[in-house]
Structure 1
Amino acid sequence: MSKPTASSLSVRDNRTGKDYTIPIVDNAVRAVDFKGIKAPRLAGEREENETEKGLRVSDQGFLNTAVLHSQITYIDGDAGVLRYRGYPIEQLALHSSHLETAYLLIYGSLPTKSQFEIFSNEVSQHAVMHAEAQQFFRSFRYDAHPMAVLTSAFAYLGSYYQEANPSLQGQTLFTKGDAPSLAIMDKQIYRLIGKATTLAAMAYRVRQGREFVTPPTGMSYTASFLYQMDYLGQEDYTPNPVLVKALDVLFLLHADHEMNASASSTLQVGSSLVDPFSAIAAGCASLYGPLHGGANEAVVRMLLSIGKPENVPAFIEAVKRREKVLSGFGHRIYKTSDPRSFIVRKTADEVFKITGKDALLETAMALHDAAMKDEYFVSRKLAPNVDFCGLIYRAMGFPMDYFPVLFVIPRVVGWLAHWRQMMLQTGGVKIWRPRQIYVGAGKRDYVPIGKRETVEGLRLTPSAVEHSGISKRTRLATYKGKL
């Protein structure tokens, strides 16, 4: 251990009486430095604690563990600050576009006019899907959740591009950082951003029983998406510009959010040096969960369950009694208000001017006002977050189970930005392999099946399954080899 300095942490291990000095760099200490703090195993202590092998750091749910150095997104949850590459989200939402912001997140700076033309043209040209993809999408059940379809589609996409698969081309395919490697990497970035809207539109239209639409030329990224969603053969069809702008702003707001569950899932899988399509599929699967991308849908379902504004007080009391779950308030990172929520409110006003106000808006506002005046929610810092944008999606006519898809499309950009940064980081890519604290049984000897004692308990035995239909009749039938 090094000598104490102003930028260090002094630790005394009371088990041994030894003092340790751990360096502090960028207001962080390395977890691996604690591994040097070792002690003899205490009398009666479990050998599985591995005390003599060094101290471990326990952080269930990654509440305060930094897994990498990043230059992409900065969040100050206490102050309600969100910046992409140093630019405040408020400025970008006012002046930029989703695709320009995508360039910023991935490459680190706002593009010049010529740089943006090259980038946007490549994304547009790589939006078209292979004809065989129609068979893939039509193989799903008519009622398949669009997120299940989209997650599968990203993984399926990787089967087309053997030149982008490190398992086939060598594990340094994306990590070399030379011109050929960067060119291959950029091509996959174009493909994934371009095809994200196409895959999402196909997942929507297959549910509608409609033919798929080839991405149009000459339209913006968001307008092209709405065109693919809704075009039914009309001459000179053009999506409403207010809806295009609103969706573009929401895409920009959702493009990245630092080390959230889906971004870290993408990097966890990507750290094995798998192809980027598989890594993005992992991020998509993570975002599918109701604690992450499904939150928008949860907000609307909550508001539907409340119904009218006059029902809000009873709902508030039920939440405080832990009988109901409050969605759309509070955030793992933001302890004040989510800076995106103000932009969402302004965007909602613009959309409602042409679609009419959502019937649930008054209920949402009543819930907001009640929660902001109630000490129970104020003391717990449960301010409204960005998940209320589900009301905008609802007003625009998107089905509720499609809300997470509208989250995935922009978040592909953030996933790719973090993936690219990790591939090119100094020192190369290290596979993510978290530690655990083993609290299970100690060493046990195998017992033959005839001599084992019955173990009972709801969580200690497999559940019985009630069979019906063909399964039930088969269990009642006789046949050779039946157990």
Structure 2
Amino acid sequence: MGRSVPPPTSQNSLTVTDNRTGKTIQVPIENNSIPATAFKKLNKKRGDGDSAQDEVEAGVRVYDPGFMNTAVIQSNITFIDGEAGILRYRGYPIEQLAEQSTFLESAFLLLYGELPTQQQFKLFEQEVLHHTYVHRDVEQIVGAFRYDAHPMSILTASFAALGAFAPEANPALAGQKLYSSGTTEALAVMDKQIFRILGKAITVGAMAYRIRQGRAFNAPPSGLNYTETYLYLLDHLNEPNYKPNPVIAKALDILFLLHADHELNCSAAAMLQVGSSLADPYSAVAAATAALYGPLHGGANEAVIRMLTAIGSPENVPAYLEKVKKKEVVLSGFGHRIYRTSDPRSKIIRKTAEEVFAVTGRNPLLDTAMALHDAAISDEYFVSRRLYPNVDYWSGLIYQALGFPPDYFTVLFAIPRVVGWLAHWRQLMLQKNGVKIWRPRQLYVGEGERDYVEIEKREEKPNADPTTVPSKVPHLHSKRVFLARDSKM
């Protein structure tokens, strides 16, 4: 006879039975989620078929490679419904914000939860733009990079370096509860670092652009808004009363707003992973920037431009899509880890692109992009796989039309995303139960305990897996160096 299962104590629960032991537990469901730690109750004594490394006495672990269905924090910042194509900042639809708000106003919203009053926004904007200046030693650090260094390498290092100039912002030096105590003083210190990082992000971002051109770094101007200031830092040479083109400034502001946050993506998770150790926010932002540098995250719009260039012209689109179906090439700019329908940001960016092209001239790749877009969204192969254009598909075309080199595109992604990173970091620091260090578990599937063998007695394994031995790496040293080494052996 089967074991009887006790009735659930609540309808909002999950009844789980461990068929190994017959043990049954009731797991509460809240916000359509269950606590992973509940499965620790499903423990048992180790039997003959259990590995010592499985630690069955400690209960069942939840195995989720790549965080495909694991929530690690409660948040009230950004909501995404990937099935319906919805993106909201603090409840406000992204379409409304892109139409009526500005990047810096939306930054305030993401950080503090509400749209600012006129007085609040005035103070916020003043503080952020006040902190656009950087220490002259930071200029020397950035200036030490090679002219051909990747801009994201420079940006990552710059954020890390900025932390060295703010020791009072480091919990390792100023106390572990520097940000998490919730006092008025703690909030002031926290907000000061947010102002600093937001202000200096556009400055070091522009420095990473100008260094490859051999141009001196610009001092921040006065009287311009956030994106206008950034364009000034990028482009001003010696023109009197220089002010960026308003259409370009507005387009960049919209792009910044759209990229400001996107829930707990890879870089935001990196920000919180590092932040949970109570590292200073500059180090955490540097880590998040490094995560964004990866081609699976921030480099997609650059890949779109390279793809469109490779296609060449609209008549080559059908042949390219056939190669995609055969998995010979990749379709960049389509599909998303979260969205299973059209990315709501892509529609806004497409409209913005037309406004930019009216000023800059039509991007020669636009016809190819539109032909590829129309062909893909009407092809059953891509529709059935729910591959629709994402935000990266059109943004690269705008950046290219504005004259930015492809390897700088990710910087244009990183600068606005700093806001989202800081909003999530601020939320982490202020959560009610304090900050707990993020320490994921693993499933160990390696060797069990074994005894040490002296080196003289070890033998190479025949047909060893190449991943288990070091690779032989060619070196670029002169042959004379190797001859000199060989003579000493």
Q: TM-score range by the shorter chain?
A: over 0.9
Are 1:458 and 2:466 matched, yes or no? Answer: yes
Residue in 2 aligned with 1:341? Answer: 346
Aligned-pair CA distance for 1:440: 0.8
Q: In structure 1, the residue corresponding to 2:466 is in which secondary structure? A: coil
Give the deviation of 1:158 after TM superposition.
0.2
Kindly provide the amino acid, as one letter, of the partner of residue 465 in structure 1.
V
Inter-partner Cα distance in structure 1 for 2:68 and 2:396: 27
Paired residue for 1:432?
438
DSSP 3-state at the match of 2:210: helix
Equivalent positions of 1:151-162 (< 5 A) are 151-162=156-167
One-letter identity of the residue aligned with 2:286: A
Whether 1:405 aligns to 2:411 is yes
Distance 1:459 1:264 in 2: 29
Shift of residue 44, structure 1, vs aligned partner: 2.9
Q: Report what 2:3 is aligned to.
A: none
Cα distance in 1, alignment partners of residues 85 and 378 from structure 2: 19
C-alpha separation in 2, matches of 1:242 and 1:135: 34
SS of corresponding position for 2:207: helix
1:371 aligns with 2:376: yes
2:426 partner amino acid: R
Q: Name which of 460, 463, 477 aligns with 2:484.
A: 477
- State the AA in 2 paired with 1:120: E
Residue 314 of structure 2 corresponds to residue 309 of structure 1: yes
Number of aligned residue pairs? 481
Supply the distance in 2 between the matched residues of 1:96 and 1:199 (Cα, whole angstroms): 25
1:77-116 equivalent positions in 2, closer than 5 A: 77-116=82-121
Structure 1's consecutive aligned runs of 4 or more residues displaced over 3 angstroms after TM superposition are none
Instruction: Give the residue type in structure 1 aligned to 2:314.
Output: P
Query: Deviation per CA, 1:178-220, whole angstroms, max 9, x where unpaired?
Result: 1100000000000000000000001111111001001100001
Q: CA 1:138/1:38 → structure 2, altered by over 3 Å: closer, same or farther?
A: same
CA displacement 1:382-435 (0-9 Å, x = unmatched): 000000210000001111000000001100000000000000001100000000
* Residue 418 (structure 1) aligns with: 424
- Structure 2 counterpart SS, 1:132: helix
In structure 2, give the amino acid aligned to 1:105: L
1:449, CA displacement in angstroms?
1.2
Q: Does 1:384 align with 2:392?
A: no
8 A contact 1:2–1:23 mirrored in 2: no
Offset of 1:224 from its aligned partner? 0.4
> Shift of the alpha carbon at 1:45?
2.3
Distance 1:347 1:232 in 2: 27
Tell me if the contact between 2:17 and 2:25 (Cα under 8 Å) persists in the aligned partners. Answer: yes
Do 2:8 and 2:15's aligned partners in 1 also have CA atoms closer than 8 Å? no
Partner of 2:273: 268
Write the distance in 2 (CA, Å) between the matches of 1:44 and 1:343.
57
Equivalent positions of 1:7-86 (< 5 A) are 7-86=12-91
Unaligned runs of 5+ in 1: none
Calculate the TM-score normalised by the size of structure 2. 0.97
2:420 alignment partner AA: G
C-alpha displacement of 1:4: 2.6
Q: Of the candidates 196, 205, 212, which is equivalent to residue 191 of structure 1?
A: 196
Measured after TM superposition, the shift of residue 261 of structure 1 is 0.2
Deviation at 1:39, TM superposition (A): 2.3
1:4 to 1:401, Cα distance in 2 relative to 1, 3 A: same
Report the Cα distance in structure 1 between the residues aligned to 2:262 and 2:475, rounded to whole angstroms. Answer: 45
**What CA distance in whole angstroms lies between the structure 2 residues aligned with 1:282 and 1:134?**
21
Give the alignment of 1:233-312 within 5 angstroms. 233-312=238-317
Which runs of 5 or more structure 2 residues have no equivalent in the other structure?
1-5
Aligned partners of 1:124 and 1:194 also within 8 Å = yes
Q: Check whether the contact 1:2–1:22 (CA below 8 A) recurs between aligned residues.
A: no
Q: Aligned to 2:468, what secondary structure does the other structure show? A: coil
CA 1:2–1:164: 2 relative to 1, 3 Å: farther
Give the residue type in structure 2 aligned to 1:349: E
1:443 and 2:479 equivalent?
A: no
CA drift of 1:160 comes to 0.3
Asked if the contact 2:293–2:299 (Cα under 8 Å) also holds between the matched residues in 1, the reply is yes
Structure 1: how far apart are the matches of 2:56 and 2:9?
25
Range with greater deviation from structure 2 (457-466 or 317-326) = 457-466
Percent identical across equivalent pairs? 61
2:185 aligned residue (177, 180, 194):
180
Report SS of the residue matched to 1:469: coil
Instruction: Letter of the 2:185 partner, please give it.
Output: P
Task: Output the TM-score relative to the length of structure 1.
Answer: 0.98
Name the structure 2 match of 1:131.
136
Distance 2:380 2:480 in 1: 58
Aligned-partner Cα distance in 2 for 1:134–1:454: 52
* Structure 2 CA distance for aligned equivalents of residues 203 and 82 of structure 1: 31
CA distance in structure 1 between the partners assigned to 2:278 and 2:316 by the alignment: 52
Q: Contact 1:4–1:10 (CA<8 Å) still a contact in 2? A: no
